[in-house]
Structure 1
Amino acid sequence: MQPRYHHVRHINLEFGRIEDEHLHLLKNKRSESLQDLETLNLNVCQKISDKGIQAVTSVCPNLKSFSIYWNVRVTDLGIKKLSQNCRHLVNLNLSGCQSITDVGLNSIADNYPELEVLNLTRCTKLTDDGLQQILLKCSKLQSLNLYALSRFTDEAYKKIALLPNLKFLDLCGAQNLSDQGLSCIAECKNLTDLNLTWCVRVTDVGVEAIAQGCSSLEFLRRWCSLFGIVGVTDNCLEALSRFCSNTLTTLDVNGCIGIKRRSRDELLQLFPNLKCFKVHS
């Protein structure tokens, strides 16, 4: 690393052919250059293991954002070392890290009370126990991605209500989420972006609770929203209109066979600011 690269703040190695030995080399040869590092992106560096994580994070005490999307070799041990070495993280992306369990989530919950962004997409070994620890101890979360995690139940979903600053929530594929759980989530008054795609147990009751509780809702997900939920009808659309008509700009009801077709003018009467509306074909 050349002198001009001393005190680096951001490193992006996404899709790089990076292995543990390279991260050990950074630690052993250029540790002084990483003391001010704030962002480290190791997305799809699939040859990195816990040993590499331990090595590089041991010389990045001021790291604020860490992303290691789609790495199946990193385990709870790597997450434990990360949380011990980097105490100031506010943004953590573990999407696709399928070897991580509740043990890893407990390490995150115990060490990152200031965490603001957490992505757990497709971390399929996680259960209610681990998620509940996050929700109880990381109360400053603003963005939580639980995409394609079907093992969670209402027992955990109800505790999402403990996140007063939550703005973004992705629950795509939450097959066990019921109206009762969604009604608790409606207590997140600052929620603006919500994905309920394929939440197949949700009905009008849950969506109406969201509409009434989350009046600042802007997007029922930018791409998908109520997609695939056959239990919702025009009643939920009318509830959204009553409570979110001034903020809702994007709404996807593709696959919601209980919601009737409407003309553009009819939609604009319900949602004056609507820019994108997707209906079932």
Structure 2
Amino acid sequence: MVQRILEGCPCLLYLNLSCTLLTNKTLQHLQYLSLAYCDRFTDEGFLYLTTGKGCHSLIHLNLSGCTQLTVNGFRYISAGCPALEEIVVNDMLTLSDSCVLALLTRCHCLLAISLLDAPHLSDITFKAVAEAVKLKSLSIEGNYQLTDFSWNALCRSSQGLRRLHAAECPRMTDASLKSVASLQHLRYLNISYCNRVTDVGVQYLTKGCSANELQELNVSHCSHITDISVMRIAQRLCKLHHLNLSYCERLTDSAVEWLGWTSLCSLDLSGCNIQDEVLLACLLLFSRIPENLNFRNLKNNLEHVDISHCVALSDAAVRAFSFYCRGLVALRMVGCFKMTDMAVQYLTSGSQYLRELDVSGCVLLTDLTLRYLERICPPLSSITMACCSRISRYAASKLQPRVTYWEHSSDTPPYWFGYNMGHPVTKPTK
């Protein structure tokens, strides 16, 4: 089948064969490919790339989950694909320093590398990466070995880095962020679950070379970040559009108030202990109008909001969103067990452009909620109502034909949804 596709499509540039049953024989034909989670080919399949039967102009290669590959396989790829610009090797627990070093032998054109869930890579790998290539995008997750040395070397060598995903790298410290702050064109940064990062590291970032470039920042589960960091983010990162502060346990109401002076279009406050009145004050600042004015066409920049597991919030919070966030596109309020049908009524009356809604674990919602949601279908196209025991299957199923994505269950909410005999939310484990 693959052979027929390639013979009949001579201009084909991209082919994704992830999770298929292809074998070594297929590899002699492909030029630009994703082999993610294909486990039937071996190292020898890449010999086609070195013997002239394969293509030496391969640009993109995805080997995620291909744990059968060894150092020899990466050596063959390096020899046969010198023009490779992007490689994705996620979910590969067997990946070692030797594999990456073999790849870098001849692949000196790499611009993007993704190594999610590769826990065995050490500073040796990233020293070699820093010496061999100049990256624009780097993704690492779940690595417990990388130290400040790696981040310093990478940031010095790849000053053009625009995207850095460094989630769950617990040895990243404030010194690491000092190196990151030296980058000239950084637009995306994810340091979630980096628990050694403090306000000092965020200060480096907000005073760094990319303070006027950064558009998306994720500091979720950074337990040492306080209100001071949020203040600095609000004051210095003037182009920031997406901010994730979920489960930053030291944040208080003051942090939320600072956010009102930003121009965010996406905000994640899930797991934060926010009060209704504080959220209202924040939305007033977003809208830049006096509280006593009543503009019917009021709209701010917020389009995507996540207030899941904010167990102190009630219907009043949703009423504020419906009034001040006329352009709201997506709202998640999972585990907000104080929300009632009145909250959904407010939402459907004010949010005319809402497309995605997740009310999972809002145990006080009833079938009346479905009647309100019918008013905005379309534009509402995705509705998730897991663990909503008071919404009947019959009523929920009537809404299903009117949306693209639909989910409903009457299961008992798990304890970390925030509804455990009225007790506060428990921080979920990753």
- Per the normalisation by structure 1, the TM-score is 0.87
Higher relative contact order (CA 8 A, sep 6+): 1
Q: Rate the CA distance shift 1:207–1:57 in 2: closer, same or farther, 3 A.
A: same
| Cα displacement string for residues 90-141 of structure 1 (whole angstroms, at most 9, x for unaligned residues) | 1001011111111111111111232101111111111111121111111211
Q: Is the 8 A contact 1:150 1:174 kept in 2?
A: yes
Q: Is the 8 A contact 1:185 1:210 kept in 2?
A: no
* Residue of structure 2 in register with 1:157 after alignment: 256
SS at match of 1:155: helix
Q: Is the 8 A contact 1:102 1:131 kept in 2?
A: no
* Residue of structure 2 in register with 1:95 after alignment: 192
Taking only aligned residues, the RMSD between alpha carbons, in angstroms, comes to: 2.1
Q: Is the 8 A contact 1:249 1:274 kept in 2?
A: yes
Deviates more, 1:261-270 or 1:130-139: 261-270
Alignment of 1:66-215 (within 5 A): 66-84=164-182, 86-111=183-208, 112-164=211-263, 166-175=264-273, 177-186=274-283, 187=286, 189-215=300-326
SS at match of 1:42: strand
| Cα displacement string for residues 57-77 of structure 1 (whole angstroms, at most 9, x for unaligned residues) | 110011111111101111101
Matched, 1:44 2:142: yes
Cα deviation, residue 48, structure 1: 0.6
Q: Is the 8 A contact 2:344 2:372 kept in 1?
A: no
Deviates more, 1:58-67 or 1:5-14: 5-14
Cα deviation, residue 199, structure 1: 0.7
Deviates more, 1:202-211 or 1:86-95: 202-211
Letter in 2 for 1:152: L
Whole-angstrom CA distance in 1 between matches of 2:115 and 2:353:
38
Select the structure of larger CA radius of gyration.
Answer: 2
Matched, 1:54 2:152: yes
**What runs of 5+ residues in structure 1 fail to find an aligned partner?**
none
* Residue of structure 1 in register with 2:127 after alignment: 24
Whole-angstrom CA distance in 2 between matches of 1:250 and 1:60:
38
| Cα displacement string for residues 201-243 of structure 1 (whole angstroms, at most 9, x for unaligned residues) | 21222221111111111111xxxx2222233333322221121
**What runs of 5+ residues in structure 2 fail to find an aligned partner?**
1-77, 84-106, 288-299, 390-430
Whole-angstrom CA distance in 2 between matches of 1:250 and 1:155:
29
- Per the normalisation by structure 2, the TM-score is 0.58
Query: What is the count of residue pairs matched by the alignment?
Result: 268
Q: Is the 8 A contact 1:80 1:104 kept in 2?
A: yes
Q: 2:353 aligns with which of 240, 247, 261?
A: 247
Fraction of identical pairs, as percent: 27
Matched, 1:63 2:161: yes
Letter in 1 for 2:243: L
* Residue of structure 1 in register with 2:114 after alignment: 12
Q: Is the 8 A contact 1:115 1:138 kept in 2?
A: yes
Q: Is the 8 A contact 1:248 1:271 kept in 2?
A: no
Q: 2:367 aligns with which of 256, 261, 267?
A: 261
